[in-house]
Structure 1
Amino acid sequence: MRRPAFYSRSPRVPQQDAVEPGTSADESPALAAVPSARPAWQPGRRSFGLLLALVVGLGATGAYLWPRQAGPALTQKDIDAAVLRTLQTNVLPSQAARAADIIRPSVVRVVGYGTEKNTPEAKTEKRGRNLAKGKPPETTDEVPGKEVERGVGTGVVIVDKGIILTNLHVVAGAETIKVTFADGFEAPATITALQPENDLAVLQAQKLPDDLIPATMRSTADLMPGDQVAAVGFPFGIGPSVSAGVVSGLNRSFRSPEGKQELGNLIQFDAAANPGNSGGPLINMSGEVLGIVTAILNPTQQRTFIGIAFAVPIENAASAAGSPPF
C-alpha cells in the first residue's frame, strides 16, 4: 500500500516578478519577504571547494583501502582451551537444578481439609508432617468443630486459567481444598474432573496470582529406562523439594496396599518420593512434565521411600483435563 504524500503546512510566500513603477524595493512589503538574490558566481571560490572535496574523498578512500593487519587465526586448540578454562573457573548448575528452576513456577502445594482420618496411612502422614514442623510425632491439631489437614500433596498447573493436575487420593473426601502457588498466593480450589482408574483429579483454582506460568508437557513415546528425571513436590509438606534419578522401567503395574485398586502403564523411577510428593510432576532435564507422581512401593506399613516409585504418564493425565492427545 502506497503511503499518501505528506505536505508541508508552512504558508507559501507570494512572489512578485516586478516592482511597480515608482516604488523602491525598501517600500515594497512583498519584496521585503523575498530573500536577497544570490551573489554572482566567483570562479575562484568554486574551484577551491571542488579541490577540497576531492582531497577529502581521496583521503577517505585511501584509509579504507589501506591494508589492515589481520589478527592471529583461532585454532581448535585455542577454542578447547578457552572452554576448559571456563569450566574450571565457573560453577555451572546441574541439569536437575536447571530443570527444577523451569518447573518451579508451575508447582503448587495442595491441602485437603476436613475431619481427621484414623486410617494407618493418615496417621503415618500426620507423624511425618509433625516431624517436618519440629513437633512431636503424635501431636494432633484436632479441635471439635475445626477443620484440619487431612492430606497434603502436590499439583502442577497445566493451563494458565488455573487448571491443576493432582492425585485423586490427595483430595478424596476433603471438605475444602486450598492450593498455594509458587509466589505464596493462596486460593481455594474445586474438583472439576476425576479419572479414578489413574488416580487423577483436576482442580480449578478460584483465584489466580498475577503471573501464572503453566508447565510444558512432553510425550513419553521416546522415554527410555535410564533417562534422567526429577520429582518436584512437597514430601510431608516440605517444599518445594527436588529429587533426581532415572527412569527404572516402563509400563509397570501397581496395586494399592489395601488391594482396592490396580494402576497400569506406569513409569517406574528411582528419584526419592514420599507422602506429599503425590500429584507432583515427574520432569525431564528440560523441565517438561512426563508424568504425575502417584505411588511408592513399600512392603512395610511405614510408607517411606525404598527406591521404587511410580508416575502416571502425562498422556493419561492430560486426557483427564480434556487436553488433546500428543
Structure 2
Amino acid sequence: MRRTVLYSRSRPDPQPAAEVDAQPAPPADAAAAPANRAGRLKAALRHPGALWAAIGALGAALAFSQAPWPGNAPRKLTQKDIDAAVLHTWQNKVMPSQATRAAAAVGPSLVRVEGVVEGKKDRKGQAEMGRGVGTGVVIIDNGTILTNLHVVQGATGITVTFADGMESTASVVNVRPEDDLAVLRAHKIPDDLQAATMRSTGDLMPGDQVVAIGFPFGIGPSVSAGVVSGLKRGFRSPEGGQVMSNLIQFDAAANPGNSGGPLVTMDGQVVGIVTAILNPTPARTFLGIGFAVPIENAASAAGQPPF
C-alpha cells in the first residue's frame, strides 16, 4: 500500500558560537562520511522497526552516559555513536516481514468453519454424514462471522473454532447468494474475542500486496502472500453456474478450505472475503487466479454501515 510520509516538526537547537569555534577541523575523508551515514540511515528508514530499536538503545546509552558517577564528567553522545547503534541494530536485528505482521493482526479474528452435510445413502439406506471445512472471520465481537455461503449451504449443523481453540455451534443469520456470502452467529464466544478491522477497497490497486489466510484442505491456519492482480472481475461458478461480479482478483495461493477467509492488506486490514479459484481443469487446485468479494459487499450482508 502507499504510505503517508511523516515529517517531524522538531528541529535541533543551534550550537553556541563558542562550541562551534572549539570543534576540531574535519578529517581529510570527511566528505565521504556523510554519504556513508546517509546510505546506512536510508536503509534503516526502510525498516522503521529496526530504527526505533536503535533509538531505544541510544536512549538507554544516553541515560547511562549522563549518570552522576563520582569523578567522571558526563559524556556527550556523538553522531558516530548514533551511526554505530543504528548500523548494529540493522545488521543484527531480524525484523518480521510485512506479511507476518498482517497475518498476526487478523489472526485472533480467524475462525475455522465446519458444516455437517448429509451425503449419499449407504446400502442399509442410512445417510452418510460428511463435513465441509472452510474459513470465516469475526467482524463483530459478539460472535458475528463472515464466510462463504457454499461453505455452510445445506449443512444440518455448523461448528466454528476460534483462534484460542474454543469450539461453538453457530447459526446462519443472513445470506447473500449473489455474493456467495453467509453471516453466522456463534452461540458461545471467547471472553477476549477480537473483531477484524475492515477497510474500504476504494484505493485498492493492482500490484498492492495482500495475504490470504485460511484452512486449505483443512490445514491451518495457513498464510499465503501475493498481490492484487485486478479489480471488478467476473466469475461464473462451475457448479451452479452463478455469475458474480465486482470481484478482487489476487494471486496469493488459495485452495479448497480457504473459502470464506479474509484477504488482508499489509496493514492488517480486511479488504475481501476469499470466494473462488479459477481452474479450467477438473482438479480443484490453485493455478494463480483467486477471487474475493469486496468487503463493502460483505459488510452490507452483515448489516454493517458502508465505509
TM-score in terms of structure 2 length: 0.72
Correspondence 1:183-202 to 2 at 5 A: 183-202=164-183
Match of 2:273 in 1: 292
Q: Which amino acid aligns with 1:282?
A: L
Is the CA contact 2:120–2:128 (under 8 Å) kept in the aligned structure 1?
Answer: no
Deviation at 1:286, TM superposition (A): 1.7
| Correspondence for 2:242 among 261, 286, 294 | 261
User: Is residue 68 of structure 2 the alignment partner of residue 87 of structure 1?
Assistant: no
Correspondence 1:124-143 to 2 at 5 A: none
User: Is residue 213 of structure 2 the alignment partner of residue 232 of structure 1?
Assistant: yes
Identify if the C-alpha distance between structure 1 residues 186 and 300 changes in structure 2 by more than 3 Å, giving closer, same or farther.
Answer: same
2: distance between equivalents of 1:186 and 1:89?
Answer: 41
More strand by share: 2
Match of 1:212 in 2: 193
2: distance between equivalents of 1:79 and 1:313?
Answer: 46
2: distance between equivalents of 1:259 and 1:149?
Answer: 20
Q: Which amino acid aligns with 2:88?
A: R
Match of 1:111 in 2: 114
Deviation at 1:250, TM superposition (A): 0.9
Deviations 1:225-245 (CA, angstroms, capped at 9, x unpaired): 111100010001111110011
Match of 1:159 in 2: 140
Is the CA contact 1:113–1:147 (under 8 Å) kept in the aligned structure 2?
Answer: no
Is the CA contact 1:117–1:150 (under 8 Å) kept in the aligned structure 2?
Answer: no
Give the number of the structure whose alpha-carbon radius of gyration is greater: 1
Deviations 1:147-196 (CA, angstroms, capped at 9, x unpaired): 63331100000001000000000001111111011111110100000111
User: Is residue 76 of structure 2 the alignment partner of residue 72 of structure 1?
Assistant: yes
3-state SS of paired residue (1:254): strand
Is the CA contact 1:231–1:283 (under 8 Å) kept in the aligned structure 2?
Answer: yes
Q: Which amino acid aligns with 2:300?
A: S
2: distance between equivalents of 1:142 and 1:308?
Answer: 41
Deviation at 1:69, TM superposition (A): 5.1
Deviations 1:217-260 (CA, angstroms, capped at 9, x unpaired): 11111111111100010001111110011111111111111462
2: distance between equivalents of 1:144 and 1:249?
Answer: 48
2: distance between equivalents of 1:172 and 1:246?
Answer: 30
Q: Which amino acid aligns with 2:181?
A: L
Correspondence 1:237-252 to 2 at 5 A: 237-252=218-233
Deviation at 1:85, TM superposition (A): 1.6
2: distance between equivalents of 1:143 and 1:73?
Answer: 84
Match of 1:168 in 2: 149
2: distance between equivalents of 1:146 and 1:209?
Answer: 34
Percent identity of paired positions between Structure 1 and Structure 2: 69
2: distance between equivalents of 1:254 and 1:167?
Answer: 15
Deviation at 1:264, TM superposition (A): 0.7
2: distance between equivalents of 1:243 and 1:228?
Answer: 11
1: distance between equivalents of 2:303 and 2:172?
Answer: 14
1: distance between equivalents of 2:259 and 2:252?
Answer: 13
Match of 1:22 in 2: none
| Correspondence for 1:203 among 184, 190, 193 | 184
Deviation at 1:91, TM superposition (A): 1.5
Deviations 1:101-130 (CA, angstroms, capped at 9, x unpaired): 111110000011021269xxxxxxxxxxxx
* Count of residue pairs brought into register by the alignment: 237
Identify if the C-alpha distance between structure 1 residues 237 and 117 changes in structure 2 by more than 3 Å, giving closer, same or farther.
Answer: farther
Is the CA contact 1:270–1:307 (under 8 Å) kept in the aligned structure 2?
Answer: yes
3-state SS of paired residue (2:119): coil
Correspondence 1:10-89 to 2 at 5 A: 71-75=75-79, 78-89=81-92
3-state SS of paired residue (1:99): helix
Q: Which amino acid aligns with 1:84?
A: L
Match of 1:98 in 2: 101
Alignment RMSD (CA, Å) = 2.3
Q: Which amino acid aligns with 2:107?
A: R
Match of 1:271 in 2: 252
3-state SS of paired residue (1:115): strand
User: Is residue 225 of structure 2 the alignment partner of residue 222 of structure 1?
Assistant: no
1: distance between equivalents of 2:191 and 2:267?
Answer: 25
2: distance between equivalents of 1:143 and 1:96?
Answer: 51
Deviations 1:248-277 (CA, angstroms, capped at 9, x unpaired): 111111111146211111111110000000
2: distance between equivalents of 1:191 and 1:89?
Answer: 50
Is the CA contact 1:157–1:164 (under 8 Å) kept in the aligned structure 2?
Answer: yes
